[in-house]
Amino acid sequence: MPQMPTIHLMQPIATVSVMDAGPSPMEPACANPESESRGPRADAPDPESRSQSAELARLLEIVQGLAGGLHQLHEQTLVRHRTEIARLALEIARRILMCKVGKGDYEIQAIVEEALQRAPTRQNVVVRLHPEDVSRCQQLQQDTPRSPFAELEFRADGSIGRGECLVETPKGIVRSFLEEHLEHIGEALQKVE
């Protein structure tokens, strides 16, 4: 019996597709009329070719089982690592964000305006900010006295971080905190398939 070939791969197998093996090299694809005249049933497989066909069928079944197992393992690995990948992406975003905030590389006006868009009303609004951000916002008020930004009351609050704000209105409070934004991003990453 011939020795089975061995295949050496440079990388692990990511996906496997099993194609129809087609006719065995020992079995002709179609009967040859000339061969029938030479002997008694030349198209009938001899015992050795039947044995090889059975062996090929058995190997094909094994390969299909392995392909199914590999696919299942691949899916399980993705599910297990999805949470870890989301956590890692979130931690990278947190570090980049904290570095930018530490350097003062953010637009406090855009942060306040985004929070104001979510506010239930625009009347009697008090915006609480980190003390360093209050001075920047007050400067913006002086530079643009006719803008809606100029009508806001800014208060320093040491419990609020840089690049964050708390908008108080008579109808409710809107928070714009970095950790809350990161949590929302993390939840969204968890849902991605």
Q: What is the DSSP letter of 144?
A: -
Can you read off the two tokens belonging to residue 14? 């990511």
**Rounded CA separation 154/87 (Å):** 35
**Residue 103 near residue 131 (C-beta atoms within 8 A):** no
- Share of the chain residues as helix, strand and coil, in percent rounded to the nearest 5: 55, 10, 35
Q: What pLDDT, on the 0 to 100 scale, is given for residue 168?
A: 95
Q: What pLDDT, on the 0 to 100 scale, is given for residue 31?
A: 47
Bridge pairing between strands 153-156 and 172-176: unpaired
Q: What is the mean pLDDT of each run of 10 residues along the chain (193 residues)?
A: 64 67 51 48 72 88 91 85 85 93 92 92 92 92 85 94 95 93 86 72
- Looking at the DSSP bridge assignments, the partners of residue 165 are 129, 176
Residue 38 burial (C-beta neighbours within 10 Å; 0-12, 13-18, 19+): exposed
Q: What pLDDT, on the 0 to 100 scale, is given for residue 14?
A: 67
Residue 162 makes CB contacts below 8 A (sequence gap 6+) with 101, 102, 104, 106, 130, 132, 133
Q: What pLDDT, on the 0 to 100 scale, is given for residue 188?
A: 86
Question: Which DSSP helix (H) or strand (E) runs through 102?
Answer: helix 47-103
Q: What pLDDT, on the 0 to 100 scale, is given for residue 36?
A: 47
**Rounded CA separation 185/193 (Å):** 15
